[in-house]
Amino acid sequence: MAIKSSAYSIEWSPKALRSFDTILHYIEESFSISASQKFAKRTMSIVSLIAERPELFRKSEKSKNKHIVVVTKQTTLYYRVNHRKKLVELFLFWDTRQNPASLNY
């Protein structure tokens, strides 16, 4: 008997991968490997929540299918949902210490 999962597929855009890697590297260099592992684990927990309930986090004011979730006080994840394809695309990890005027999503 097959069990059908209601979870959405998760897709990481190249920009999400780059920005996540940059933040992870910064945490490792500035703090410790343990801190970067903790950040990665927290991120994966949030991604799992998004896969199960993509509408859980607040919607962007810029677009109805884009969502924003605070990963840590210094990091925000932006993602978009395609309900027809049951797909969530992670498209940006944003370091909130940057100039918000340069945020383009």
What domains can be seen in the chain, in order of their start residue? 9-95 (3.30.2310.20)
Provide the angle, in degrees to the nearest 10, between the axes of the packed helices 33-52 and 14-30: 150
Using only C-alpha atoms, what is the Rg of the chain? 14
For the chain, percent of residues with pLDDT exceeding 70:
90
Say what the pLDDT of residue 1 is: 44
More confident residue, 35 or 95: 35
Q: In whole angstroms, give the CA distance from residue 23 to residue 60.
A: 22
Q: In whole angstroms, give the CA distance from residue 84 to residue 82.
A: 6
Say what the pLDDT of residue 63 is: 81
Can you tell me the mean pLDDT for 85-92? 95
Q: Evaluate if residue 104 carries a pLDDT over 90.
A: no
Taking only the tens place, the pLDDT of each residue in 38-84 is 999 999 999 999 999 999 999 988 888 899 999 999 999 999 999 99
